Chains A and B, each alone.
Chain A
């Protein structure tokens, strides 16, 4: 399978714990995006990378959230001191940076904070 992959698929944690999610994009894609989706809502943009550079961050990305893409391939999204309001599906997408930048999504990581 050469699509976007995300790990883990599900994560249950206790409030106050730190969690980290991983996204592996489609191999030739140099753009990588993170979105968050709460129950009953559409996905909301969090941030995106072009290669290893983080080029845009949403106001939704509080200082407890940090995303990295150190070698321009996979990316990690870390949430520190989780809160119950962080419970959501975290989605990753990737695209090319030239031409039509169609974004292809992974299956998501579902986070439940107890």
Chain B
């Protein structure tokens, strides 16, 4: 499965949009982009996933570039409860193990 690169940390003001980037330049055509987050001392929480098209759900939006080599997770109105480590993971649908990298530690500040 393709490796991903994320900035180690980011800050965001409460109420503003948080845009978390992820590079996955070696992604294959059948590999999905998944986003999870982990709030301190809790299990990872699934956020969203996509293959080619942009996706939106009640938690976030996922924007995937046309060449699929990078993506951005958007939290439209960040709250203090969104402070967490966000993981971008690439996985093909036959894959069974999620490989977590370092993630991005998002700090939402009042």
Chain A: residues with CB nearer than 8 A to chain B? Answer: 4, 31, 33, 35, 42-45, 48, 55-56, 58, 91, 93, 100-108, 110
Interface of A: prevailing SS: strand
A99's closest neighbor in chain B, by CB? Answer: B93
Q: Is the CB of B43 within 8 A of A106?
A: yes
Chain B: residues with CB nearer than 8 A to chain A? Answer: 32, 34, 36, 41-46, 49, 85, 87, 93, 96-103
A-B contacts, 8 of them at CB < 8 A, read A31-B96, A35-B98, A42-B87, A45-B98, A100-B93, A105-B36, A107-B42, A108-B43
Chain B residue numbers with a CB within 8 Å of A4 are 43
Chain A residue numbers with a CB within 8 Å of B101 are 42
In the assembly, what is the distance between CA of A101 and CA of B94, in Å? 8
Q: Nearest Cβ in chain A — how far from B26, in angstroms?
A: 19
Known A93-B44, A103-B98; further 12 A-B contacts with Cβ < 8 A: A4-B43, A33-B96, A44-B100, A45-B96, A45-B98, A58-B97, A100-B49, A102-B49, A105-B45, A105-B46, A106-B43, A110-B41
Chain A residue numbers with a CB within 8 Å of B36 are 105
Chain A residue numbers with a CB within 8 Å of B96 are 31, 33, 45, 48, 55-56, 101
